[in-house]
Amino acid sequence: MAVARTGKFGKVSVNTAVTLISAQDDNRTNIILFNEGADDCRIGTTNAVTAGGANDGILLQAGASLSLNNFASIYAITASGSTTISYISNQII
């Protein structure tokens, strides 16, 4: 039996308020994030992620990419300024 595959992609503007990049998806196998903007941001799997606090997420520098193999929600925040995160994810349906 063949496995059907699909994907999602998009862009999200991120600033100093926690922003949802991609909601939890139990069918997602991986997601690739790319920071298109000029400002660094922090990536986390809850809306408690911070940029400069006890819950600092993974640093995603301007011009960098990050691949995650999970199905949890993905959030981002900047310490100052704003940036654009583009993403593409793979899913099994």
What is the spatial distance between Cα 43 and Cα 58, in angstroms, rounded to a whole number? 5
pLDDT digits (tens, 9 = 90+) for 30-87: 999 999 999 999 999 999 999 888 789 999 999 999 999 989 999 999 999 999 999 9
pTM for this entry: 0.91
CATH number of 5-92: 2.60.120.770
pLDDT digits (tens, 9 = 90+) for 7-18: 999 999 999 999
Burial class (CB in 10 A: 0-12, 13-18, 19+), 38: exposed
The predicted structure's pLDDT at residue 2: 67
